[in-house]
Structure 1
Amino acid sequence: MTAIPVTHRLRLGSALAVIAALSACSGPIDLDMRGRMGGSLDTAAAAQTATADRPSPDNRGVISYPSYQVAVAQRGDTVASLAQRVGLSAAELARYNGVRETDPLRGGEVIALPRRVAEPSPATGAAITGPIRPASQVDVTTLAGAAIDRAAPSAAGTAPVQTGLEPVRHRVERGETAFTIARLYNVSPRALAEWNGLDKDFALREGQFLMIPAAAEAPRATQAAATTTPGSGSPTPVPPSSTKPLPAETPPAAAAAKPAPAAKPVADIGQSQTRTSNAAMAMPVDGRIIREYAKGRNEGIDIGASAGTPVKAAASGQVAAITKNTENVNIVVIRHPDDVLTIYTHLDGLTIQKGDQVSRGQSIGKVRAGDPAFLHFEVRKGFDSVDPMGYLQ
C-alpha cells in the first residue's frame, strides 16, 4: 500500500471539533451517544479511550516524532533556559508558543519546537535513536536487530529505534478548555494534563500546542494462549467421497449442458456504481483504497485517485459544516439520519455550501492535488468512528 504522510493522516482536529459542535447540547455530552436513547445510564466514562504513557524525553527534554518535536521542561526552567538546552533561539521558541522568553515553566510542561533539532540518541541520554515511528515504517531487519540489542545489553550495537503512534497535535484556540479539547478527541482530561504537564487547574493559553494522548496498544495474547495443538481450532472438512460414492455414470458432455449465464464482471474497489448499488453508501470517489481503516490509527479510509477526480456524497444528507485544518485542507461534514456523519478531507473545488441538502452521488468537490493525491473518508456514529467498508459493501 502507498504510505500517506503522517501530517496528512493525523491532523483532523478541526473535523473532530466540528463533530463536537454538531453534538453540543445544553447538558453534558454522552461520548458514546447512548444517552440519546432515553436511558438513565451515562456511559461517557466507559467510552473514554485508554491512553498510553507519554514517552520519556532525552536529557535535553526532547521527544521526537517524524512530523514534529517537543521539549519537556525541567523544574526551574524558563523559556530561555529550555531554548539554550535544545539549541534554539529563545525569541524564536517564545514566539512560536505565544509566551515570553523570561516566562517560568512548570516541571513536565511541554513546549512545541518551531523546527527540528538534533534527534535523540545515546549521545543525548536517550535509550533510542531517531524519532518515534510506527512499527509499519521500520523495516524488519532494524526491529530484529533492536530486539537482539535489548536482549544482550553487553553486546556492542547501535541504539534501538522506538516505535509508537504519533499523537495528534492540537493548537488551542480562544474559548477552548482542557475539558472541551479532551472531549473532542475522546480522551480523559487527566490524560491530556499528564501528557502536556498542565497545572492542577488544567489552565491553557491561546496558541498553545497540545499533544493528544495516543491510544494504548491492546495487550498481546500470551504465548501459552497462542500456542495450540497443530490442527486444533481449524476442523478438517470431511472429503465428499467418504460419505457419498462417486457417480456411476459419466456426466453428459459439456457441449450438451445448458450454457450458464455469463458472470457479471467484478467491480473495482473504487467503482461505486456497481459495487455499492445495494449498499448503504456509495463510494465517494473512483479509486483504490490505499490505506484501510484502523481504529486509533486511521479513523477512516484513504482512497487514492488522480487530482481533480470528482468527489461525491456517499449518502443523502445535509452539509453540516465546511472548515479547514491547520494545513488549510478542506474538511466537509455531512449529517445523515440516525446520528451518522460522513467526513471528507483533501478535496478542493467545493460545489456545496453549509446547510445544503445533497443527494447520494451528488458531486461535492474534486480530489486535491498531492503526492499521492487521495481522499480521506470517514463514517462516524455519533462520536465514534466506524469502518466505512461496513457501509460501502
Structure 2
Amino acid sequence: EPPPPATPIRAPAPQEPPPNWADGEGTPLSTYALQPGDVQPFDPANLPTTHRVSADESLYDIATRYQVPLRALIDQNNLEPPYALSAGRELRLPPPRFHTVARGENFSEIARRYNVDTRSLALLNRMQAPYQVRQGDRIVLPAMARAIEVTPPPPPTPTPVVAPLPIGSGQFAWPLRGDVVARFGAQPSGGRLDGVEIAGREGDAIAAAADGEVVYAGSDLPSYGTLILVSHADNYVTAYAYARRALVREGQRVRVGERIAELGPRAEGRPRLLFQVRRGAEPVDPAPLMAAP
C-alpha cells in the first residue's frame, strides 16, 4: 500500500506589527487624558450664584460639581455639622475670585503666588499646556485661594557714622585702637557724653594716654565696669571705663602707652571703651588734645 502524501509545510502567516504610538497609529493616549471640560463643566468666570439641592444630593456632590472647596461652601452658607441637606434647599455658591495678569507674569508664577497646583489652576480655567497668558488676562482662582504674603526682611540696623576726629595737639595718645562710635557732647538719643567711646574687642589692651599716676582702680561704680583714673600734669585726669580688669594699682606711676587694663564685654552691644579727659572737675572734649591715631 503506498504511503500517504506528505502534508505540505506552510510558512507562518505574517503578524501585524503593534501600533506605533509615536507615529500616531492606534488611539493616542491623549484621548484618555483628563480634559478641562471634564473637570469644570461651567464657565469658571460665570458660575451660577445659587444651587437648589436635589434628592439624595450631598454637600460633597455639590462641591465637586462646581469645583469649589467644601469649606468655602460651608462658610458661604453658615452650615453646621453634620451638614445634612434637605431637597429643595437653595445654597449660595462662593463667588469667583480673579487675578489680573501683570506685565511679565507667567502662569506658573501666578499658581505659586496663590499656593495652587499649576495643573489644577489650568483645569479650573479650561486651559491646556503650555498655559500661555498675556498682560490683562483674568485668571479664575479657587474660592479659598489667598496670595502668599512675603514679608520683606527688616532693614539692617545702620552703623552709626561718626565724623572723623580732628588731629589735636598730641598732648594725649589714644588709649585704644578702634573706631570712635560716639563723640563728646550731645547725643542723638537726647543724652550727653562727657568723653568719647572707642569700639574694640573684649580683652583688648587699654593703654595710658600720658605719663601719670594711678589715683583709682576699681569697680565701685557698676555702671562703669572696672574704672581706672590717672592723674597728669597741668591738673588733667584721664578716665578709662568699661574695662574687665585693671592691670595697675592705685599710687602706681605709669608711662604713656603702658597697659593699664583690659577691655570688658558690654551687655547692650559691642565692647567699647569710655575715655574721658577732665581738667580739675570739668570734663573737656578729648579730640583737640589727642595725637594722630
TM-score, normalisation: structure 2: 0.39
Relative to its length, the structure with more helix (as a share) is 1
In our comparison, the structure showing a higher alpha carbon Rg is 2
TM-score, normalisation: structure 1: 0.29
Relative to its length, the structure with more strand (as a share) is 2
